[in-house]
Amino acid sequence: TAGMALDGQGSLFAVARCYPTFDSLPSSDLDTMLLKYSIDGSLAFAKVYHDVDEAYATDMLIDKDGNIVLGGFNWLAKFDPLGALIWTQRYNSADISRPEIQQLATDASGAIYAAGYSDDWETGFACKLDTDGAVLWAKKWLINNELGDIEEPQLGMALSGAALYIL
For residue range 109-136, what is the model confidence (pLDDT) as tens digits?
999 999 888 766 677 888 899 999 888 9
User: Which residues contact residue 12 at a Cβ distance below 8 angstroms, ignoring those fewer than 6 apart?
Assistant: 4, 5, 6, 36, 37
Per-residue confidence band for 21, with pLDDT thresholds at 50, 70 and 90: low
The arithmetic mean of pLDDT across residues 78-89, rounded, is 91
Confidence of residue 91 (pLDDT cuts 50, 70, 90): low
Distance of CA 135 to the CA centre of its chain: 15
Is the pLDDT at 22 greater than 80? The verdict is no
Give how far Cα 137 sits from Cα of 91, 111, 130, 154, Å.
Answer: 11, 11, 10, 22
Across-strand partners of 142? 123
44 confidence band (pLDDT: 50, 70, 90): very high
Q: Is the pLDDT of residue 62 over 60?
A: yes
- Euclidean distance between CA atoms 129 and 26, whole angstroms: 31
Q: Would you say the pTM of this structure is higher than 0.85? A: no
Q: Which residue has the higher pLDDT, 146 or 3?
A: 3
Mean pLDDT of 136-162: 71
d(CA 109, CA 65): 10
End-to-end CA distance of the chain: 23
- Is the pLDDT confidence value at 4 over 80? yes
Q: What is the pLDDT of residue 28?
A: 53
Cβ(110)–Cβ(128) below 8 Å: no
